[in-house]
Chain A
Amino acid sequence: MTGMLAMDISSLTDVIVPTLATTFRPAPILAALPVAGVNWHSVLFLLFAALACGFAVAVVAADNVVRMALYLVFSLGATAGLFFLAGAEFIGAMQLMIYVGGTLVLLVFGVMLTAQAPLVAIKASSSDRTLAAVAGASLLALLLTAAFSVDAWMAPGSEVVPAPSATPLGMALIGVRVDTPPPGSPAGGRAGYMLPFEIVSVHLLVVLVGAAYLARAKRRKTPRAIDAVASAMPVEPVVASTASGVASGRPAGGAKSALVGGGR
């Protein structure tokens, strides 16, 4: 079932070859074991779920916005792992590529562009925290109650290796449904996703243009230091003869003295 070739390990004459060949077999990650013992799928699920939830909470708890971004990366990365486990490999890869690799890099970029010392950690007041904790806990309770209230959802999953999902998904996106949704599925018919796909494409294009427009290059109205320097020639005489400054050998004040560091 796991698609392994039968092999003769016991022939010890060529040890290295079989070791190489077998260790690179499809690793047993997704293979649910019929034997009693640890279900790897469940273990990995627990791992990824713990990571996703833990780092999601850490995002809330953290004050430093850079760390928040980092925790978010881990949380969403773990979510991608959950998608892989659920058999939605394509979605998982998309999550990694677009969400983690694209959107979050963008976000981190934004964080770093605005990460000035006072803005890195804007602390929430403790009353806000309490309020958020109470509201969050009640919302969580509500959601969980709702989730647990449907018995059919409580049934444990199957132990079957999920089939690839990318091809039918791709076909669906160009308007051909290669799968028939199981009876009773809300989708019912064999609707493709050509139109939504196109709408999303146009939407993304619009967003691209819009974002570029919003964050477009603007010129500062107030003069910058660079302009002052550029117009500094020929220079206006700066009287630099303060007797005390000279006698002590201190530098006299000047236009560029802002650049002077401390003593070497």
Chain B
Amino acid sequence: MAEFLIGLGLPGWLAWSIAALVSAVLLLNVIAGGALVFIWAERKIAARIQDRLGPTRTGGRFGWLQSLADGIKLLAKEDLMPEGADGLLFRLAPYVSFCASFCAFIALPFAFDVVGQRLNVAVFFVVAVLGLEVFGVILAGYASASKWSLFGAMREAAQVVSYEVPLGMCVVVPVMLAGTMDLVTIGEKQAGWMSNWYLFHDPFTFVIFWVYVTCAVASVNRAPFDLAEAESELVAGFHTEYSGLRWSFFFMAEYGSMFLVSALAAVLFLGGWNGPVPVAQLVGLSEGTGDSAAYFVRLLGLGNLIAKATLGVLLMMWIRWTLPRLRIDQVMTTCLKYCTPIAAVMFAGAMFWQLFLPGGLLPGWSRPAGEIREGWLEGPGGLPAAHPTTSGHNVGVAATDPSDSSGLATRSPR
């Protein structure tokens, strides 16, 4: 797009600025629009689960526009701030929450190379930034000058910090299998048939996927771990005192995070943008076949990933409308006594599996495992080609020259 704008005669910096802006706006719309859709879906799903109809009228059939109407209502609502609240922090908190949720999307690939910013440490980045959302909640709880909010904030802080440990361990397993933290590469390595997904890589990854699901639900504060906003105990938890647009920012952040952890699960365990059947490959399309083919492949990948992530979100909704809520000590017990040890054991198991059975149990099912590790062990120069400059499918070993081993930067004359 930037080239296109440059081609139109715009100065380069302006073209880049516009391109970046468009990227940001697109991402923002993905989150905001996604939140609208998910809120509508949640209402319909909850209604289906509960034997009712849900929204039916707004926007014609099925109440399509219900969330939009709600959004307009929220916009029109009075922005209340309790007396005694810390004004600056109170106003700031929703944006902190939302920004954290939004920033994490930057490194999330939606399809091959369809990513805001391809990062070498994308997995880490996403988990790290997602963890920052808790600051908004803590601030909201503190600044609201309400005891219920404070309770919610303290719960959230304790919960999120604790669950980051098993979550990190779960996330590290696919990283270990792929040999890189680059989400694009991780997704790329699961291309092909469904059996290539890391979920089915070995029994340990299968187990750890469910640990990840548990931890992800906990880290985005969804039922049965929604203690920070437990409505029967804490009124509404940390956002008790919020109304109108600020409240909806918390809401959008929540739905954004839900989508994010689901998409992360899809990329890490469920083959990312690769469908269960390599349709594009079977019909002979690939990135290299031509521009239109590349677009088509990417569009297909985009659809795949969004479908998988949506499935994850729907799973969370299903859980929410089925299960009662845990108590705070039980939530912590689940984390410290179950999730963390299981994740640790599964991590070790996956490691040993990778070490001793890199090809899998069935000889006929040999998978392209270990190519990156070979590159590492051959010599000091073998770097995985998880490099933004590499493109195409061949992201296995970049046979770099051992002599060029600074490994930090490809130099070019100024």
Contact = CB atoms under 8 A, between A and B. Distances in A.
Contacts of B168: 97
Nearest to A96: B128
Given A18-B295, A160-B409, A163-B410, A94 B116 contact: no
A160 B1 contact: no
Given A66-B89, A165-B120, A179 B408 contact: yes
B161 A105 contact: yes
A96 B121 CA distance: 12
Contacts of A21: 114, 294-295, 298
B16 A73 contact: no
User: Which DSSP category, helix, strand, loop or mixed, fits chain B's interface?
Assistant: helix
Interface string A91-124: 0111011001110111011001001000000000
A239 interface: no
A33 B161 contact: no
Interface stretch (B133-141, B276-284, B356-364): B133-141
A217 to B, nearest CB: 14
Contacts of A179: 380, 405-408
A158 interface: yes
Contacts of A17: 295-296, 298-299
Contacts of B2: 22, 28
B113 interface: yes
B142 A66 contact: yes
B388 A26 contact: yes
Interface string B97-110: 00000000010001
Nearest to B143: A66
Interface centre among B17, B142, B302, B376 (most CB of A within 10 A): B142
Interface stretch (B7-15, B50-58, B331-339): B7-15
A24 B410 contact: no
Interface string A1-14: 11111011110001
A222 interface: no
A177 B406 CA distance: 10
Given A66-B89, A90-B121, A164-B120, A105 B138 contact: yes
Interface residues of A, number: 73
Given A96-B125, A166-B181, A24 B115 contact: yes
Nearest to B168: A97
B142 A96 contact: no
Contacts of B19: 22-23, 27-28
B382 interface: yes
B354 interface: no
Given A3-B389, A70-B89, A101-B128, A22 B414 contact: no
A197 interface: no
A245 interface: no
Contacts of A101: 128, 131-132, 134, 161, 164
Contacts of B390: 3
Contact of B391 (A3, A14, A115): A3
Contact of B3 (A4, A20, A97, A177): A4
B236 interface: no
A167 B291 contact: no
- Residue picked from A2, A73, A167, A190, most chain B C-beta under 10 Å: A167
B154 interface: yes
B194 to A, nearest CB: 25
A33 B299 CA distance: 29
Nearest to B406: A179
B119 A67 contact: no
Interface in A16-49: 17-31, 33, 35, 37-38, 40
B257 interface: no
B134 A9 contact: no
B380 A106 contact: no
Contacts of B405: 178-180
A69 to B, nearest CB: 9
Nearest to B21: A23
A192 to B, nearest CB: 11
Nearest to B407: A179
B387 A163 contact: yes
Contacts of B1: 9, 18-19, 22-23, 25
Contacts of B406: 179-180, 182
B365 interface: no
Contacts of B384: 167
Contacts of A38: 13, 17
A253 interface: no
B385 to A, nearest CB: 9
Interface string A212-244: 000000000000000000000000000000000
B117 interface: yes
Contact of B7 (A9, A109, A166, A167): A9
A176 interface: yes
A159 interface: yes
A35 B3 CA distance: 13
Contacts of A160: 409-412
A20 B376 contact: no
Nearest to B164: A101
Contact of A70 (B17, B139, B161): B139
B120 A166 contact: yes
Contact of A164 (B11, B134, B302, B387): B387
A222 B232 CA distance: 34
Given A28-B2, A70-B139, A105-B138, A93 B124 contact: yes
Interface string A167-190: 110010000111110100000001
Nearest to B150: A112
Interface string B382-404: 11101111110000000000000
A138 to B, nearest CB: 32
A26 B118 contact: yes
A73 B135 contact: yes
20 contacts: A3-B389, A9-B3, A18-B295, A19-B1, A20-B302, A21-B114, A24-B113, A24-B116, A25-B1, A27-B106, A28-B20, A64-B86, A73-B132, A87-B408, A105-B157, A105-B160, A161-B409, A161-B410, A165-B408, A166-B180
